[in-house]
A and B are shown apart, each in its own frame.
Chain A
Amino acid sequence: MAISIHTPLTEEVVRNLKAGEEVLISGILYTLRDAAHKRLIRCLDEGIPLPFDLAGQVIYYVGPCPAPPGKIIGSAGPTTSGRMDAYAPRLLDLGLKGMIGKGQRNEIVISAMKRNNAVYFGAIGGAAALIARSVLEEEVIAFPELGTEAVRRLLVRDFPAFVVIDAEGNDFYETGREAASAQLRQKGSP
């Protein structure tokens, strides 16, 4: 049974989420991927205010397709999070509470998550048309010249995801895989 959560995330909500749990996220998400991360970090280096306040917020690693006529957004599934590992610790230290993407995170990100009580959600890679249905509003708020990589503010309802790495650093990619492979070994599966 999926747990419904709302953004911005409170310390308590984050603390209670456990790796492996299925969640439905509602509220505001900010989209951010490679090029926009680079710009954001440059803003921080140069002391320029960020286009949105990070405190309690959740970032979604995505570069959506253009919206066809009559649609709010085009297909919008997660991209590989590992490419953002270089930038994530700095944003977590500034109050970012959650990240949504797919794929493994490195130890530096996980330790920044533990230090800051933050959570990493995995969305289903390639379920982009399905995920787009949870988006109710979309607005480009920074770097429009980056096209699909621009920063967008999304209002979502029941965005489907899994808690992959919780604030204690438990990693469901590892535990889920270990449990499955133990089961497969036991079965001597064909």
Chain B
Amino acid sequence: MREVAWDKIVEAVAACCIEANCNLNPDVEEALRSAGESEITETGRSVLGCLLENACIAREERVAICQDTGMVVVFVTLGQEVHISGGLLTDAIDEGVRRGYAEGFLRKSVVDDPLLRRNTGDNTPAVIHLSLVAGDGLLIELSPKGFGSENMSALAMLKPSDGVEGVRRFVLDTVDKAGANPCPPIVIGVGLGGTMEKAALMAKHALLRPLDRHHPLPHLRELETGLLREINRLGIGPAGLGGKTTALGVHVESYPTHIAGLPVAVNISCHVTRHASVTL
């Protein structure tokens, strides 16, 4: 049994909150840069240029890339041989979020109740997903999710007869309806199969994958590249002002499902697609 101290988790989560919000991931930055070279509209090129300049300012001045610093989603992969000493894992994560958002001058965007809507004042609680695995590792992947794009996400329980064509149509329709709202160029996570909540969770997790990596299975890789090509023909473009660069990537995750179902979840993420991770 390996011991991991509660304080270590707090520190790591706080650092990840600041890192994810202030430092644009290199894969996203590279994708924005190369999109600028192939963008067909002048407005689109100008917007992509502004986004790169914005990322530089945020990195140099250590300020948030976007004012919507999100609700923190945390994927924890915990080895069964790890013991967390000094307190609960969930409390450590929330304490880390509290410190990170205070120390990083990040916006507090969480309300305590969806109907009563009082701001909690410290951006807690986080949304935590825990996987137990073999071994003594502890991986924390953190993704502060902004709601301009989250609000444009959708889920459908398709019929098996809808097949890949139904999936394709649902993803395209979701992106088409979202238009300028989710701050394009966007990244699209698609969860295929499982149950209703499993599909949604996979769609979210898919957003963590680096942009230059495809699904290892050929039929899903083909779905990803085909969807990206079609999305980038919609014309929505950077900031929704018209152009070729509507999406930077489409990532699919899949899971076995029921004989009667074909769940599809589409989680849209803005061009910042914040994430940071740490292994303790």
A residues sitting closer than 8 Å to B (CB atoms) are: 20, 22, 35, 62-68, 71, 74-77, 79-80, 82, 102-104, 122, 124-130, 132-133, 146-149, 160, 162, 164, 172-173, 175-185, 187, 189-190
Contact = CB atoms under 8 A, between A and B. Distances in A.
A123 to B, nearest CB: 8
Given A75-B67, A130-B50, A80 B57 contact: no
18 contacts: A65-B69, A67-B105, A74-B64, A74-B67, A80-B181, A103-B179, A122-B241, A124-B47, A125-B148, A125-B180, A126-B271, A127-B50, A148-B67, A164-B241, A177-B236, A184-B40, A184-B244, A185-B233
Given A124-B47, A127-B54, A180-B40, A102 B65 contact: no
A149 B239 CA distance: 23
A175 B241 CA distance: 9
A162 B241 contact: yes
Interface in B190-237: 229, 232-237
B181 A129 contact: no
B183 A126 contact: yes
Secondary structure of the A contact surface, majority rule: mixed
B180 A102 contact: yes
Interface in B226-271: 229, 232-237, 239-244, 270-271
Contact of B243 (A64, A79, A180): A180
Given A102-B240, A173-B241, A180 B54 contact: no
B15 to A, nearest CB: 17
A128 B64 CA distance: 8
B248 to A, nearest CB: 13
Given A74-B105, A104-B181, A180-B237, 4 more contacts: A66-B105, A66-B107, A75-B67, A176-B237
Nearest to A38: B117
Interface string B53-68: 1100110011111111
Interface of B: 40-41, 43-44, 46-47, 50-51, 53-54, 57-58, 61-69, 105-109, 117, 119, 121, 148, 151, 179-181, 183, 229, 232-237, 239-244, 270-272
Contacts of B233: 181, 184-185, 189
Most buried by B among A71, A102, A122, A127: A127
A104 to B, nearest CB: 6
Given A71-B63, A75-B65, A126-B271, A173 B240 contact: yes
A179 B41 CA distance: 9
A181 B179 CA distance: 13
A179 B121 CA distance: 44
A63 B179 contact: no
Contacts of A176: 41, 43, 237, 240-243
Contacts of A177: 179, 234-237, 240, 242
Nearest to A103: B181
Contacts of B272: 126
Nearest to A175: B242
A183 to B, nearest CB: 6
Complex A-B, nearest 9 residue pairs according to Cβ-Cβ distance, in ascending order: A176-B242, A181-B235, A125-B183, A103-B181, A180-B242, A180-B235, A130-B54, A75-B64, A129-B57
A132 B110 CA distance: 22
Contact of B183 (A35, A75, A102, A173): A102
A185 to B, nearest CB: 7
A187 to B, nearest CB: 8
A156 B1 CA distance: 58
A78 to B, nearest CB: 9
Contacts of B148: 79-80, 102-103, 125
